[in-house]
Amino acid sequence: MSEATTDAPLAPKRDGVPVLGSAVAFGRDPYAFYEDVASHGDVVRFSMGTYDMAGVLHPNGIRRVLVEEPAAFRKPDGPGVDVLADGLLLTDGDRWQRQRGQLQPLFYRERIETYAETMATYAAAAADEWAADAGGVQATEATSRYTLRVLGKTLLGAETDEHRAAVRAGANAIRERTSENPVAVDLPEWLPTPSNCRYRRGVDRLNGVVDTLLADADGTGEDLLSVLVAQDSGGAGGRTEDELRSQLVTFLFAGHETSATALTWALYELGRKPEVAARLQSEVDAVLDGGHATLGDLPALSYTEQVIREVLRRYPPASAIFRETREPVVVGGYRIPADTFVVLPQFHVHTDPRWWDEPMTFDPERWTDVDDPPGDRPDYAYFPFGGGPRHCIGMRFARMELQLALATIARRTTVSHDCDDVGVDVGSTTQPATDPELRFEAR
């Protein structure tokens, strides 16, 4: 610990009720909870169950954690989601470095661009299917079916209804587990609580599909699965069977739920704001030549891009980023002790009135000049894909998928619904509290 670290005052602490700490207040209203945290400062300690936590709420502090001092933090060894433990999202140190190096080439621009046709034609098929359904479509189910189809085809070289159903069951189990009150998560996994049973059932189903995919893969293709299997049979890096499986589960989870959530929010806002939908449709009608968007259309789809940026601001799919301090660290002039869980709550920072006018209003116009943000808004006031060495590996994939899908859907349909305000459920992803039922009218 450096002298400067020892000298810095301890970050202020927000008191919660004994044992549960701040879990009750967070569970009641996450937005109000973080407003209260913010009233203590930009770096604030609090407790959640048995965990010592610190919220970092200023963009400069967020930059320090993610970009300037990443080595001072590790991925938290927190709420047990054993199926993800050996994959890219949760590994650390040399092991993470090796995995990231091996997987990064799959996400180079040239590779991602070859997926554009699949992303857009699947979006066209989904839009037509939704428009044919006179009864309305449950948004969460429909968008996740779409993103899973894309993921299956592009990264796994395989996709069937059976795979999709199992992945959905597994992803729901993981989401439920990672969104739980930490006090509940502290109960041992072998205890047959309803939550533990649901988690095991969902995850066993997902593991069953992953095992079938692994058994069928011969490692000759260019997709993620083939690359992992080929590297494995070559003995590169001493990967174990568990790691291979964990890696696939990580990509199935991280790669579909986040994008599906963003698409759900985008369609919901189009149904709520006819003026946004009309502007989007006039752009796609002018730019798209045929019935779906192409790679070549992307630079001209600037309003589509604005809508997506605003979705990722107002409803950041990842909701918050977590780290754990390896040693005492100074952030924003305050000391955070070792072994503290550090939270960077996107959903709070993205709606902080210091950086955003009318922050709760969905307004794509605020992104009109993306290269010249208004005022002196710091960079990390907006970080939907994280930042620094551990920024989202799928960022380019997701942004392209969302732009192609939204443009294609807007070209083929007009979306509407009767929901006034579905509410936001801040778990490990930012979901609508009530799943909106959407109607699609063919154009």
Q: Summarize as ranges the residues that interact with ligand HEM (CB under 6 A).
A: 88-89, 100, 250-251, 254-255, 258-259, 262, 317-318, 321, 384-386, 390, 392-394, 397-398
Q: How far is the CB of 50 from ligand HEM (least distance, A)?
A: 21
By the 8 A CB rule, do 158 and 213 touch?
A: yes
| Shorter beta-carbon distance to ligand HEM: residue 303 or 385 | 385
Q: How far is the CB of 340 from ligand HEM (least distance, A)?
A: 16
Q: How far is the CB of 58 from ligand HEM (least distance, A)?
A: 17
| Shorter beta-carbon distance to ligand HEM: residue 89 or 422 | 89
Question: How far is Cα 44 from Cα 128, in angstroms, rounded to an integer?
Answer: 49
| Shorter beta-carbon distance to ligand HEM: residue 394 or 436 | 394
Question: How far is Cα 36 from Cα 32, in angstroms, rounded to an integer?
Answer: 6
| Shorter beta-carbon distance to ligand HEM: residue 153 or 200 | 153
What's the CA dihedral at 203, 206, 212, 216 to 10 degrees?
Answer: -130
Q: How far is CA 291 from CA 142, 183, 274, 353, in A?
A: 20, 50, 21, 40
Q: How far is the CB of 258 from ligand HEM (least distance, A)?
A: 3
On the 0-12 / 13-18 / 19+ scale of CB atoms within 10 A, 121 is middle
Q: How far is CA 33 from CA 25, 30, 65, 232, in A?
A: 6, 5, 22, 46
Q: How far is CA 4 from CA 9, 107, 328, 331, 371, in A?
A: 10, 40, 11, 11, 37
Q: How far is the CB of 322 from ligand HEM (least distance, A)?
A: 6
Question: How far is Cα 113 from Cα 298, in angstroms, rounded to an integer?
Answer: 11
Residue 149: φ, ψ to 5°: -60, -45
Q: Give residue for tokens 């169950």.
A: 49
| Shorter beta-carbon distance to ligand HEM: residue 255 or 436 | 255
On the 0-12 / 13-18 / 19+ scale of CB atoms within 10 A, 232 is buried
| Shorter beta-carbon distance to ligand HEM: residue 3 or 94 | 94
| Shorter beta-carbon distance to ligand HEM: residue 251 or 355 | 251
Q: How far is the CB of 222 from ligand HEM (least distance, A)?
A: 15
Furthest C-alpha separation in the chain:
68
Q: Give residue for tokens 């660290």.
A: 329
Q: Give residue for tokens 């044992």.
A: 19
Q: How far is the CB of 318 from ligand HEM (least distance, A)?
A: 4
| Shorter beta-carbon distance to ligand HEM: residue 414 or 428 | 428
Q: How far is the CB of 311 from ligand HEM (least distance, A)?
A: 9
Q: How far is the CB of 115 from ligand HEM (least distance, A)?
A: 10
| Shorter beta-carbon distance to ligand HEM: residue 254 or 410 | 254
| Shorter beta-carbon distance to ligand HEM: residue 254 or 405 | 254
The token duo for 174 is 């993981």
Question: How far is Cα 351 from Cα 384, in angstroms, rounded to an integer?
Answer: 12
Q: How far is the CB of 262 from ligand HEM (least distance, A)?
A: 4
DSSP 86: T
Residues 6+ apart with CB under 8 A from 234: none
Q: Which residue is nearest to ligand HEM (CB)?
A: 394
| Shorter beta-carbon distance to ligand HEM: residue 202 or 384 | 384
Three-class secondary structure of residue 106 per DSSP: helix
Question: CB-hemisphere CA count at 13 Å for 359?
Answer: 16
By the 8 A CB rule, do 24 and 158 touch?
A: no
Q: How far is the CB of 192 from ligand HEM (least distance, A)?
A: 31
